[in-house]
Amino acid sequence: MAREFKLPDIGEGLTEAEIVRWLVPEGERVEADQPVVEVETDKAVVEIPSPYSGVVLRHGGAEGEVIEVGQVLMVIGDEGEAAEAEPEREEPEAVVPAGALLEPIVGTLSEEAEVLAPSSTGVSEASGSVKALPLVRKLARENDIDLTTIDGSGPGGRITREDVEAAIDAAPGDGREETAPTVVPAAEQPAAVTAETGTETPAVEQQGGRRPLSRLRRTIAANMSKSWAEVPHVTTFDDVDATRLLEVRDALSHRYDMKIPIEALVVKAVIPALEDHPDFNATLDGDELVVHGSHHIGIAVDTPDGLLVAVIRDAGSKGVVELAEEVRRLGEGAKSRSLGPDELTGQTFTVSNIGAVGGGHGTPIVPPGTTAILSVGRAREKPIVFDGELVIAPVMPLSLSYDHRVIDGAMGRRFIALVIENLEEPALFLSS
């Protein structure tokens, strides 16, 4: 008997998903719980398993098509059976790991963002396929690049955008002699007729182009607009003499034979400030301020698909080495989009290391659902006055943005002063 399987609401707030790739073609047999399709939501690329055993009689949409929750994802039945299913058939509930549905909250992911439980890799390895995110696959298709010929440089061998772009640059030409293009003055270029109005526009205007934003980028845009429109931002700037901080990082790296990310030390230095000023570790809910008892610190990660915020849960209970391991693990998982919902949601304060891409001071936007974010720039050698003497020292820029509805300027200065004190003498927070 043919049975419909409709796109389930796997995560709170899910309304639609894009079909990335069918893992089982029409006409082939599938077993219960076997992954049958890859879909992409705002936050993850995930595999959805079949709830039934049988033959895939019909796909509910083509690759690249967006379908809504409740729309038929596929029809499964017996071989040779018609693809029309009985409408009265009750749908099974989606298989979701316990505790996976958490309130989405990120620096770039809105409170309305969909949440799906991702697969272990974030990209499918079914049928011997390569590992690459949808945008990377699309770029390869558009430029006739065979992904199976590329060795991925990303985590777990994932093929990145940079890998594909390198393959494009290295691709041979079509053998024809290249000639310089003829330049036609704009005034002499033929006009194009727009279908909507029938009016002519100069062809020079057609040289640009449009491309749709990815789901993640659309979520980032909506989230930033929401935060900027609703939160009265204040940003305070300062600098830190990072001499001792960098010495301690080098000593710890040598002692434990591992790289200590600067984010690990910054998070450790921020925890005492959050304990002394709990309004920075809170959520404004209407006329009430919800002060959080735990410190779940978000770490902004620059990924090929956009900015994601991975969350170090209960950061206050972790030592520097544990924090370093978490920063590294979450960073790799965010870039491969293989993190689970609880690793991408629920931050209570955010640290953004724009120094990793050469940044200095900035004006970070407060993530929805939180009251503050600290941005850390790259330490650079600068002249400073130390004990009355002019010396050269590594100076690290700090930028603290906060919600002025909750935090006033004096509290903001006290908070960042304590953070600076801790960063300039790490013994103050390493002993806690």
Q: Would you say the pTM of this structure is higher than 0.85?
A: no
Of 412, 399, 234, 372, the closest CA to residue 292 belongs to 372
In angstroms, rounded to a whole number, what is the distance separating the alpha carbons of residues 234 and 253?
36
Of 335, 374, 379, the closest CA to residue 356 belongs to 379
On the CB side of 288, CA atoms within 13 Å amount to 4
CATH number at residue 39: 2.40.50.100
Residue that terminates a domain, selected from 92, 126, 145: 92
Lowest mean pLDDT among 13-17, 52-56, 128-132, 313-317: 128-132
pLDDT at 135: 61
Q: Would you say residue 114 lies in a domain?
A: no
Q: Would you say residue 104 lies in a domain?
A: no
Q: What is the rounded average pLDDT of the residues 119-129?
A: 40
Q: What is the rounded average pLDDT of the residues 64-82?
A: 85
Residue that terminates a domain, selected from 92, 113, 142: 92
Residue-wise pLDDT tens digits, 190-201: 444 444 444 454
Q: Would you say residue 150 lies in a domain?
A: no
Share of the chain above pLDDT 70, in %: 76
pLDDT at 206: 53
- Clarify whether 404 is annotated catalytic: yes
Does 189 score more than 70 pLDDT? no
Q: Would you say residue 163 lies in a domain?
A: no
Q: Would you say residue 373 lies in a domain?
A: yes
Does 93 score more than 70 pLDDT? no
In angstroms, rounded to a whole number, what is the distance separating the alpha carbons of residues 247 and 226?
40
**DSSP symbol at 158:** P
Does 325 score more than 90 pLDDT? yes
- Amino acid at residue number 408: D
Does 293 score more than 60 pLDDT? yes
In angstroms, rounded to a whole number, what is the distance separating the alpha carbons of residues 118 and 361?
35
Q: Would you say residue 214 lies in a domain?
A: no
Q: Which two tokens stand for residue 243?
A: 């001499």
Mean per-residue pLDDT of the chain: 79
CATH number at residue 276: 3.30.559.10
Residue-wise pLDDT tens digits, 134-181: 567 767 877 888 888 888 876 567 787 778 888 887 876 544 344 444
Please, are residues 240 and 424 in contact by the beta-carbon 8 Å criterion? yes
Residue that terminates a domain, selected from 92, 113, 145: 92
Number of domains forming the structure of the chain: 2
pLDDT at 312: 96
3-state secondary structure (DSSP) of residue 339: coil
Q: Among the options 233, 292, 361, 404, which is catalytic?
A: 404
In angstroms, rounded to a whole number, what is the distance separating the alpha carbons of residues 297 and 314?
8
187: left (phi > 0), else alpha (psi -120 to 50), else beta? alpha
Residue-wise pLDDT tens digits, 205-240: 556 788 888 777 887 888 889 888 999 999 999 999
3-state secondary structure (DSSP) of residue 375: strand
Q: Would you say residue 133 lies in a domain?
A: no
Give residue 18's domain range: 1-92
pLDDT at 64: 82
Strand order in the sheet with 16-22: 45-49, 35-40, 16-22, 66-68
Q: Would you say residue 257 lies in a domain?
A: yes
- SS3 labels along 169-231: HHCCCCCCCCCCCCCCCHHHCCEEECCCCCCEEEHHHHHCCCCCCCHHHHHHHHHHHHHHHHC
**DSSP symbol at 407:** -
**DSSP symbol at 84:** P
